């Protein structure tokens, strides 16, 4: 399971020109669910993201989590994070989980994020979405559950 976490001043999702969800300060999380991913992967990412200390404290040091600054999370499913670009110029998406499994694990991930005490909003799974954001910093972090246990917690 791969995630791209962007610290944002604001972010929103629309589908067919209708606003679906929006947040002020917090995280935009793009989540790719791959074949073979499990609830343990979602648990790991939810824990890491909710505890990620990339918001400034009173000294200007990145030392606070999204919950500590009263921020929200906008989670958007993005199967294209599972793209295989090793051959040719057209990405292959065979590594992405089938839609039903991807939806199940995405929804599980969202529930796990919520269990860590944060406000979580989502895009529409499987829809063609327009995602807008104001990246704050910019601060962009990539976390891949396949790398858990390698060089850290």
88: domain CATH number? 3.50.80.10
Domains of the chain: total: 1
Q: Choose the catalytic residue: 6, 27, 55, 78.
A: 78
Q: Choose the catalytic residue: 79, 106, 109, 122.
A: 79
According to DSSP, the residues that pair with 19 across neighbouring strands are: 14
Distance of alpha carbon 89 from alpha carbon 85, whole angstroms: 7
Report yes or no on 58 lying in a domain. Answer: yes
Predicted confidence pLDDT, tens digits, the chain (153 residues): 999 999 999 999 999 999 999 999 999 999 999 999 999 999 999 999 999 999 999 999 999 999 999 999 999 999 999 999 999 999 999 999 999 999 999 999 999 999 998 899 999 999 999 999 999 999 999 999 998 876 554
Report yes or no on 8 lying in a domain. Answer: yes
Report yes or no on 152 lying in a domain. Answer: no
Report yes or no on 32 lying in a domain. Answer: yes
Report yes or no on 153 lying in a domain. Answer: no
Report yes or no on 72 lying in a domain. Answer: yes
Q: Is 78 annotated in the active site?
A: yes
pTM: 0.94
Report yes or no on 37 lying in a domain. Answer: yes
- Domain range for 80 is 2-147
Residue 9 DSSP SS3: strand
Q: Is 80 annotated in the active site?
A: yes
């Amino acid at each position: 399971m791969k995630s791209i976490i962007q610290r944002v001043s604001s972010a929103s999702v629309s589908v067919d020109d209708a606003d679906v969800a929006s947040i002020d300060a917090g995280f935009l999380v793009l989540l790719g669910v791959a074949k073979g991913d499990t609830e343990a992967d979602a648990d790991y990412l939810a824990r890491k993201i909710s505890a990620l200390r990339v918001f400034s404290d009173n000294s200007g040091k990145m030392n606070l989590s999204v919950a500590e600054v009263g921020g929200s999370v906008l989670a958007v499913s993005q199967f294209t994070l599972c793209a295989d670009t090793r051959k040719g110029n057209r990405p292959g998406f065979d590594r992405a989980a089938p839609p039903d499994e991807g939806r199940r694990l995405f929804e599980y991930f969202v529930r796990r994020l919520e269990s860590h005490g944060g406000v979580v909003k989502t895009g529409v799974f499987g829809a063609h979405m327009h995602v807008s954001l104001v990246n704050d910093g910019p601060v962009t972090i990539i976390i891949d559950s396949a790398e858990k246990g390698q060089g850290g917690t």
